[in-house]
Amino acid sequence: MGRGGLDIKKGVEAIGKGKKFEGWLWILSGICAFLGIFGFFAKGWPMLILLLISIAIIAAIAIITDDDFQEWLAKCCFGHGDGSGVRYPNMEKEILALEQAGK
């Protein structure tokens, strides 16, 4: 499947979770990766630029999105909340959420 296919798969999953902007960034990254890899072997430098664009898109995704650990940290006793003021009601649910984030 390769990196391009995995990026497109992540994009579809993110859109399914309601994260449309993130999903479309992943899909764009996957398309650039596919075009860049095939073009790199066929044409060289112009398609290498597509690979670099794809890497830049992934860096942007990493900067603007929260992962499961960041979401857990925001809601735990050390965090600032998730913006709605919702925190874990007790330590058991907090630990369970941490275990889920680690999977």
Q: Please give the residue that has the higher pLDDT: either 26 or 39.
A: 26
For the residues 21-27, what does the mean pLDDT come to?
88
What 61-65 contacts at long range (C-beta under 8 Å, 24+ apart), as own/partner pairs, is 61/22, 61/25, 61/26, 61/29, 64/22, 65/19, 65/22
The two tokens of residue 85 are: 């003021």
> Residue 48 has which token pair?
């290498």
| Domain ranges (residues) in the chain | 1-65, 66-103
Query: What are 49's two structure tokens?
Result: 């630029």
Determine the pLDDT at residue 43.
Answer: 63
For the entire predicted model, the pTM comes to 0.60
pLDDT recorded at residue 54: 77
pLDDT category, 18, cuts 50, 70, 90? Answer: confident
Q: What is the pLDDT of residue 42?
A: 60
